Amino acid sequence: MATVSRDDVIATLSRLSDPETGRDPVALGWVQGVAVKDGHVTAALEVPPERGPALEPLRKAAEAAVHAMPGVLTATIVLTAQRAQGSQPGPAGQPRQGTAGRAQSIAPPGVRHIIAVASGKGGVGKSTTAANLALALAARGQRVGVFDADIYGPSMPRMLGLAGQRPTLADDRIQPLESMGLKVMSIGFMMNEEDPVVWRGPMVMGALEQMLRDVDWGELDVMVVDMPPGTGDTQLTMSQRVPLAGAVIVSTPQDIALLDARKGLNMFRKVDVPVLGIVENMSYYVCPNCGHREEVFAHGGAEKTAAQMGCPFLGAIPLDIAIRVNADAGTPIVVTDPEGAHARAYLAIADSILAQIDSGARPAAPKIRFT
């Protein structure tokens, strides 16, 4: 099979032209972050913000041209807007503002509350918590969407039983996949789970924007966002460009994980995103044979941290093989054992979150006047 290089991709892109100026996107300095890995090509077109929507045909043409190159298996090209320097966070619940004017929200219009599920470090069970929490919210009668923003390690396709599926287009809009009553979108639907992808800042913003704005999410009460671990470009984009109702921080009880959780929590506070609380995952272990409870990692650290940081403690989820097996098999425990103790723990977390977001500010109801 032919191998493709970065230079080949740039040469292909240079044969396209901007419909307004007739100049090619490479000469215009728009082509950024070209990455080629085992035949998978990703790149960003960093275009002037006011021309963004009008340049969608150019993005599509670029993607088609790269995809047609010998040796290219997949091509993902995203449009990103050049940002003004010195963007400042705005007040909670509002899209943050930039010096060049109001930063445009990239939130889907029909979604009432968007909640980020985040963790300071990887592997603490953030995605497992996000999947079970989404299902618990749905069990409470909410219309729920799951947006997998973990572009570095998307696990929602697997955890929600949708691995290997691809979204379809209807009326030129991407349709989210559906599983267990949830609407689901993930970058994982566009690539193989094992494929490493190198994301540069502008590409992250473009990909998030497309998955939020170009997807037909419809009307939702709550969107649960599975964030990548840590405090990077995704967290920044999501907190500055999406009016988040709040963030849920997942941590294991060990000191080192809690230290990272504090960092994550402080990041959200700095950008005025309310922290809805901390979940302690893998909190303790109950022997399935004798029922003996073992505090494997000095359980209780997250509750203490929550108290110190002045935010709610949402609950403790034990380390249990049934949680792992069901999450990894695409049938989270809230669905497989809805009456069990684990499902009840996730439902209690969902209730606490609903109580917080429902008491939050809502758009004022229209005044009815009788004349």
Binding residues for ATP: 120-127
Strand partners, 251: 280
Q: Cβ atoms within 10 A of the Cβ of 68, count? A: 10
Give, in degrees to the nearest 5, the angle at Cα 228 between 87 and 212: 65
Which CB atom, from 52 or from 228, has the smaller least distance to ligand ATP?
228
Which CB atom, from 80 or from 132, has the smaller least distance to ligand ATP?
132
Which CB atom, from 30 or from 147, has the smaller least distance to ligand ATP?
147
Which CB atom, from 295 or from 328, has the smaller least distance to ligand ATP?
328
What tokens does 157 get?
């396709």
Give min distance, CB of 12 to ligand ATP, in A.
34
Give min distance, CB of 337 to ligand ATP, in A.
13
Q: What is the rounded CA–CA span in Å between residue 207 and residue 237?
A: 11
Using the structure block, give the residue that is written with the tokens 């989270």: 332
Residues ≥6 apart with Cβ < 8 Å to 240:
87, 89, 95, 96, 103, 271
Give min distance, CB of 150 to ligand ATP, in A.
5
DSSP state of 55: G
Residues that bind ligand ATP (CB under 6 A): 119, 122-128, 150, 153, 155, 229, 281-282, 317, 319-320, 323-324, 327-328
**Binding-site annotation, residues:** 120-127
Strand partners, 113: 222
φ, ψ of residue 237 in degrees (nearest 5) = -60, -45
Give min distance, CB of 328 to ligand ATP, in A.
5
Say if CB 229 and CB 126 are below 8 A apart. yes
Helix, coil or strand: residue 143: coil
Residue type, 15: R
What tokens does 347 get?
């439902």
Give min distance, CB of 88 to ligand ATP, in A.
29
Residue in 205, 271, 277, 209 with CA at minimum distance from that of residue 247 = 277
Which CB atom, from 150 or from 221, has the smaller least distance to ligand ATP?
150
Give min distance, CB of 5 to ligand ATP, in A.
31
Give min distance, CB of 292 to ligand ATP, in A.
17
Burial of 370 per CB tally in 10 Å (0-12, 13-18, 19+) = exposed
Helix, coil or strand: residue 342: helix
Residue in 126, 113, 148 with CA at minimum distance from that of residue 249 = 126
Which CB atom, from 4 or from 276, has the smaller least distance to ligand ATP?
276
Which CB atom, from 229 or from 277, has the smaller least distance to ligand ATP?
229
Which CB atom, from 292 or from 367, has the smaller least distance to ligand ATP?
292
Give min distance, CB of 123 to ligand ATP, in A.
5
3-state helix, strand, coil in the chain (%, to 5): 35, 25, 45
Residue in 83, 127, 122, 129 with CA at minimum distance from that of residue 106 = 83
Say if CB 319 and CB 282 are below 8 A apart. yes
Give min distance, CB of 262 to ligand ATP, in A.
16
